[in-house]
Each structure stands twice: as C-alpha cells, then as structure tokens.
Amino acid sequence: MRRPASRYASSSFSFGPGPISQTLKILIGANVVMFLVTSLAPSLLAYLGLVPALVLGRFWVWTLATYMFLHGGIFHILFNMLALWMFGSELERIWGTRYFLKFYFVTGIGAGALTVLFSLLPFAFAQQVHGSVIIGASGAIYGLLLAYAMYFPDRPILLVVFPVPAKIAVAILGAIALFSSLSDAGGTANATHLGGLVVGYLFLKGARIHPISEVKYRYLKWKISRTRKKFDVYSGGRSNDFDRRVH
C-alpha cells in the first residue's frame, strides 16, 4: 500500500537556508514593528538612534542597543532582514539559540561602541560621525557575515551579480567599509559596519566555548535531521513535541 505524502515532507528544491526559526521571527518582527512606529513618529529616531555626542555628553547608553532596531527606508530594512535570515538561520542551527543571540547583540552593541570611539578621532572623517544619528542592524549583520565566512570560507555568496567565496566577499565588504569610513564622503554607518566585523572577529577568536568539533557535531546533527524529514522518518514522543526547540 502506498504511503500518503506527508505535509512536512521536503520539496525537491527550495530558496534560502530553510525554515525561519522562532528566534529570527522575533528579531525580524521587532525590527519591522520599530520601522513602522518610527515611520509614523520619526521624532523617535532622535531618542533611540545612536548619536555618539549624546552617548558621551548625556550618557544615552541605551541607544547602543536601540539603534539596532531602527531603519531609514524600506530597502534598508529589507536587505538587513534578508541577510539576517540568509546567514543567521544556519549560524543559529550550528550554535544554538542562546549563543546566536549572544553573538548578535555583542556584535551589534560592540559595533556601536566602536563607532562612538571612532568619532573621537581628531580627523574630519571621524568628526562627521560625532553628531550624526546612526541607525540600522548592519553592525550585527556584518558580524554574522564575518562568522559565516569563518565557518564556510569557500561557500559562494552572490556579490552584485557574481558568485564569490564567502571569505573573499566579506574581505571585499570590509575593505569597502574601511575605505568609506576613512574618506570625507563616507557614509556614517560605514564605521559601524567595520566595527561589526572587528567585534565579530574578536568575539569568535576569544570565545572559549567554540571548539570546531562541536561545530561539526551540530552541523551533522542538522543534516541528519533534514534527511530524516525528507524520508518521513520521525522520532517517537508526544504529538506536541514536534515544535520543541533544537539546540
């Protein structure tokens, strides 16, 4: 007797890294909500955006975190959230939710802190950052890009129209951010992009709980799980256990 097809069975092909986790749904949802709120009340950007002069002068330290959830336009939030899904999904599966969130916020907040320090440099390209309003999740996103390149250095990433190995793509993005930050015409957020790369690299290199064997184990476990779903093989247990978190 032919077994009926399961509604959870994998399709023959798919776009992207796979299903979006509950963690990413919350992060993306929070960004979208704040984008809509600040679109209706743009004055909030002055209180929630990162302004180095206010962090140093008035001690507005909360903006080191809140700036990560603000965006200046539809394409700004669209590309940031797309990158968060594309690269964050696989990293969360490898690391687990707790480590992923720790890395995301450490790189985002750290990138903001480095931007504040960058604004103190006695150069014109740094002084223009001092009083600017900095918004966007790009600092944390660049940290995720760096981590992705360290784990999958030869995996191709579509850069503009050409597939480029991840390690080269991130090196190019980092060089662009560095050059833009050191030029008078550079965008304000480029210092934050560079900060995300630096903090992400230091975090991964300095982390004690990050052995390569653990990474290989988690990745293999995820591959086995996908294969079992493809062939409709399920573990025993209660019926409401299917949506429990996977670490």
Question: How far is Cα 171 from Cα 117, in angstroms, rounded to an integer?
Answer: 23
Question: How far is Cα 236 from Cα 241, in angstroms, rounded to an integer?
Answer: 9
Written as tens digits, the pLDDT of the chain (247 aa) is 333 333 333 333 344 567 889 999 999 999 999 999 999 999 999 999 999 999 999 999 999 999 999 998 898 899 889 889 988 998 999 999 999 999 999 999 999 999 999 999 888 878 888 889 999 998 999 999 999 999 989 988 777 677 889 889 888 887 877 676 565 544 567 889 889 999 999 999 886 444 455 566 566 766 777 676 666 655 444 444 434 333 3
pTM: 0.74
The CATH architecture annotation of domain 22-225 reads: Up-down Bundle (1.20)
Residue 12: what are its φ and ψ, rounded to 5°? -70, -25
Spatial contact of 70 and 133, defined as CB atoms under 8 Å apart? no
